[in-house]
Amino acid sequence: MSAKTNPEVIKESSMVKQKGMIAGNYDRLTGTKESGEKVVSTFVPGNLNELIMCFDMVNNLPETNAIQNGMRKQSGGMIMDAEKAGHSEDVCTYVKADIGMMGRGNIAPNGKPMPAPDMLLLSYTGCFTFMKWFELLRHEYKCPTVMLQIPYQGDGKITKNMRDFVVKQLKEEVIPMFEQVSGVKFDIDRLREYLKNSAKAEDNLVWVLESAKNRPSPIDAYFGGVYYIGPMFTAFRGTTDAVEYYDLVRGEIEQRIREGKGPITPEGDMKEEKYRLVVEGPPNWTSFREFWKLFYDEGAVVVASSYTKVGGLYDQGFRHDPNDPLGTLADYCLGCYANNNLPQRVELLEKYMNEYQADGLLINSIKSCNSFSAGQLLMMREIEKRTGKPAAFIETDLVDPRYFSHANVKNRLESYFQMVDQKRSGASLATA
Amino acid sequence: MSTADIIARCEALYEDLDFTAARQWKEADPSRKVIAYMPVYVPREIIHAAGMLPLGIMGGGDGLEVIHGDAFYQSYICRIPRSTIELGLSKRMDFVDGMLFPSICDVIRNLSGMWKLMFPGKYVRYFDVPQNYRDNVGGNYYTNELNELREGLEHLSGRKITDEALRASIAVYNENRKLVQDVYGLRSREPWKVPSADVYLLMRAGLVLPVEEHNQMLKDYLAAAVKVEAQKRDNCRVIINGSFCEQPPLNLIKSIELSGCYIVDDDYMIVHRFLRNEVSTAGDPMQNLSLAFLHESISTAAKYDDKEEDKGKYLLEQVRSNAAEGVIFAAPSFCDPALLERPMLADRCSEHKVPYISFKYAENSGQMQPIREQAGTFADSIKLWS
């Protein structure tokens, strides 16, 4: 019998702050009956938090709820409930976890029931499924729904027509609906202030993400990246809390670099950095910690990932611009990673491979996310061809525990790391 | 010409995965170009007005062995993109000058980028459509998108697409729409005379032939079909829903009818019927195409329903106007739009006491017995209990 380990859990100040921010937001969300605040449900990629704040509304993010339920091992039952109710086994498990959650009383992570949304804001950047998801939610809640259609960058660029279309929808559809539901008049100067906060936080976020160019990398830009990006993605972008949070994170990472430390893992500091990887695709949430462990046990650190860009490609130069409030919201939505076409995605991954001196690319292909997954095998081939570095492919799911096979993933990863080693020894033999 | 003769030709076109007819059309004049498109809808009028042949690509069906295409897709992704890639890699589409990928779902969307990477130098366009149906919002955006398509095709063909040519093309397609509706109408009235497999093959032929030729074919078929002597069976009348993108094998359509159902309406190859009414030939043709899309297009899972009360309205109207007794939700495996839409449509059917069943297929499904049994049981239950 193996001795039980007692892993040291390191909590940095930023982690404590973030935990407080998220808990506070859930308390605010579940307390709207008492506070009288209105709730808007919306999506993570391309979310319009700064705009929502202008109407004093609280945002509820169904994907985040599904993730929370996934990490708490609740989503499996919820998905099966949805399937029993007629939802196909083939479709997005975020959708089914969300629908299954309703059937179980819509309980938030703080144990209190979620309020029904007063409004659905369907801003579906980079994912067609989102459109049907909100039709399903509207079918359930019968509440006002406004859509912000974000055209896809099919030709790898944002055209004037696309941008004008998004701005026009904001002006003529989204803002009037917010005013109507919230009873608050839109104030563009208030939006500018929130956008200023966003830009400040974005500067530090980029600095943190790019710190992974150091050796050893002081962060894990995928598993740990989920932590660092969290506030930017969800209900906090535009707040002073987010600005303070990224100040804190930056300070902590600067300290780690000075000390030559690798990233924090759930079992303490990662000791030796053996493999530097770029990862494409979302993580698995139901076995998140187990999944992460498969990497840090082998000394593998993720130095850049595409998933952490679904909330914006800030590291490629985008910043929210208070001088062009609606235009900048359009640019933001249009520019999110999943709204980029396949060639753009390949170029970005290639860039990451080179800039972060990665040993290889790993694709975590998600069964229920076609937006990410369709085309990934071609992306893998392209990256191998362009960089000469090995790429590998594993398959899991977002929040459906039936599609996480620990043994399979472990086998694949071990083989992959051997492949990286062989490639390295081949390279060193060649140069000897 | 008998219906059998016409359908024999259609079947030959359907089985020809080298697209010989389209190749021959192109070879007849070196200046000709072919623009392929995926389901569900593209404005073929603009391609036609450019002097090009719009060529509908519905995947490889059950007649294509997918060897290379499977290497590009995980097991949980539908079949149409992999067989389409197979068509491309096996040089069956080497004569095609450009490809349009309409906005259907994330898989087809990403396929547009894959096509760019795999076939550099070819004209590839992701053809986005508005999900906002207000004239000055979605309409403006769409008119500009149409103009971008027009400019792209002009660049490819090296000649201007005039408004006059566009109006003429709209008129030809208006005729096609009318004839297509006539065929569907005849089948709905007398399904024993017009088998669904015939209708299916006729419409498939329309994807690969010049529209003028298809128009003549439809006229010939209609003239021959009214003369058909056929025995009316005690079948129940059903609507097929969910098959708008990846197409079922022909045997599946035949199996449904053999099991005791008359298909009186469907959503196969809806590009032919996407616009329900004539498009105006007066005034600005691009605006007319845009307005027709906004206000005259049918409802399908690839579109957003602006209002909750609109969900299922079109399906219920199909049931009513075709005096259908039930709905068969037949969607391809892993088809996000159709499968996500289905629970909402099923609820509408339940609310209106319209019986329904659901199953999934793939374009290469080979085992029809379970589908025959399911559809047969459904038909029996309607006859016995409805």
Beta strands in A109-182 (DSSP E): 119-123, 145-148
Q: What angle do CA A158, A162, A167 make, to 5 degrees?
A: 115
Q: Which of A369, A100, A400 is nearest to B106 (CA)?
A: A369
Comparing alpha-carbon positions, the chain A residue that sits nearest to B119 is A343
Q: Do B343 and A168 touch (CB under 8 A)?
A: no
- Burial string for A318-351 (b: 16+ CB within 10 Å, else e) reads bbbbbeebbebbbbbbbbbbbbbbbbbbbebbbe
Per-residue pLDDT, A124: 84
Q: Please state, in angstroms and rounded to a whole number, the distance separating the CA atoms of residues A195 and A371.
A: 28
B148 and A92 in contact by Cβ < 8 A? no
Q: Which residue of A has its CA nearest to B112?
A: A154
Q: What is the mean pLDDT of residues A248-269?
A: 95
In this predicted structure, what is the pLDDT of residue A430?
66
CB-CB contact of A18 with A227 (8 Å): yes
Give the mean pLDDT of A101-112.
92
Q: Crossing angle, helix B106-118 and helix A342-355, to 10 degrees?
A: 70
CA–CA separation, B313 vs B68, rounded Å? 41
Instruction: Give the residue among B144, B284, B15 at the shortest CA–CA distance from A151.
Output: B144
pLDDT digits (tens, 9 = 90+) for A333-351: 999 999 999 999 999 999 9
- Cis upstream peptide for A216 (omega within 30°): yes
Write the DSSP symbol of residue A317. T
Are the beta carbons of A394 and A363 closer than 8 angstroms?
yes
Q: How confident is the model at residue A233 (pLDDT cuts 50, 70, 90)?
A: confident
Closest CA to A371 of A156, A222, A221, A152: A152
Q: How far apart are CA A149 and CA A138, in angstroms?
A: 17
The Cα A279–Cα A228 span in angstroms is 16
Confidence of residue A429 (pLDDT cuts 50, 70, 90): low
Closest CA to A92 of A284, A306, A338, A367: A367
Tens of pLDDT, residues A148-190: 999 999 999 999 999 999 999 999 999 999 999 999 999 999 9
Question: Would you state the torsion angle of the CA atoms of residues A48, A54, A60, A61, taken in this order, to the nearest 10 degrees?
Answer: 10
Find which of B106, B132, B313, B344 to mutate to test the A interface (most A CBs within 10 Å of its CB).
Answer: B106
**What backbone torsions phi and psi does residue B351 show, to the nearest 5 degrees?**
-60, -35
Express each pLDDT in A42-66 by its tens digit.
999 989 999 999 999 999 999 999 9
The predicted pLDDT at position A293 comes to 96
Residue to substitute from A95, A162, A165, A372, interface B, most B β-carbons within 10 A? A165
From the list B110, B97, B88, B211, the residue with the least C-alpha distance to B153 is B97
Which residues of chain B make contact with A384, given a CB cutoff of 8 A? Answer: none
Cα dihedral value B48, B52, B53, B56, nearest 10: -80
Is B106–A128 a contact, with Cβ atoms under 8 angstroms apart? yes
pLDDT the model gives residue A2: 41
**H or E segment at B127?**
strand B123-127
Show the low-confidence residues of chain B (pLDDT under 50): none
A58 close to A40: Cβ distance less than 8 angstroms: yes
Count of A-B CB contacts under 8 Å: 169
User: What pLDDT is recorded for position A9?
Assistant: 58
Q: Specify the pLDDT at position B121.
A: 92
- B interface mutation test: which of A342, A345, A366, A412 has the most B CBs within 10 A? A342
Cβ B382 vs Cβ B349: under 8 Å: no
B110, A155: Cβ pair inside 8 Å? no
Cα separation, A310 vs A332, whole angstroms: 11
pTM of the model: 0.96
Say whether B113 and A169 touch across the interface (CB within 8 A).
Answer: no
pLDDT at A229: 84
- B179–chain A nearest CA distance, Å: 33
Q: Alpha-carbon distance B386 to B354, whole Å? A: 9
Chain-centroid distance of CA A377 in Å reads: 21
**Residue B263: strand pairing partners:** B238
Q: What pLDDT, on the 0 to 100 scale, is given for residue A1?
A: 38
What is the pLDDT confidence band of residue A7, given thresholds at 50, 70 and 90?
low
CB contact at 8 A, B40 and B300: yes
Angstrom distance (rounded) from CA B194 to CA A110: 61
| C-beta separation of A371 from A129 below 8 A | yes
pLDDT at B47: 98
pLDDT above 90: percentage of residues in chain A: 88
Structural element, H or E, at residue A125: none
**Contact with chain B for residue A87, Cβ under 8 A:** yes
Q: Record the tokens describing residue B118, joined without a space.
A: 């795999």
Q: Mind listing the pLDDT tens digit for each residue in B186-213?
A: 999 999 999 999 999 999 999 999 999 9
Asked whether the predicted pLDDT for residue A431 surpasses 70, the reply is no
Q: Which of B123, B180, B150 is nearest to B47 (CA)?
A: B150
β-sheet bridge partners, residue B236: B261
Given a cut of 70, is residue A274 above it in pLDDT? yes
Question: In whole angstroms, how far apart are CA A307 and each of A233, A311, A340, A387?
Answer: 11, 8, 13, 21
3-class DSSP string for A197-264: HHHHHHHHHHHHHHHHHCCCCCCCCCHHHHHHHHHHHCCCCCCHHHHHHHHHHHHHHHHHHHHCCCCE
Contact B106 A155 (CB under 8 A): no
Looking at every residue in chain B, the average pLDDT score rounds to 97
* Radius of gyration of chain A, Cα coordinates, nearest whole angstrom: 21
Average pLDDT, chain A: 93
Is the separation of the CB atoms in A389 and A383 below 8 Å?
Answer: yes
Residue A3: which pLDDT band, with cuts at 50, 70 and 90? very low
Say whether pLDDT at A262 is over 90. Answer: yes
A104 part of contact set with chain B, CB < 8 Å: no
A374 touches chain B (CB under 8 A): yes
Of B76, B126, B347, the CB nearest to A367: B76
ipTM of the complex: 0.96
Per-residue confidence (pLDDT) for residue B356, from 0 to 100: 97
CA distances from B217 to A176, B1, B3, B27, B206 (A): 51, 10, 10, 22, 9
Angle, in degrees to the nearest 10, between helices A75-84 and A62-71 = 120
Both tokens of A280, joined, read: 């494409």
Which ranges of B268-335 does DSSP label H, i.e. alpha helix? 285-296, 313-321
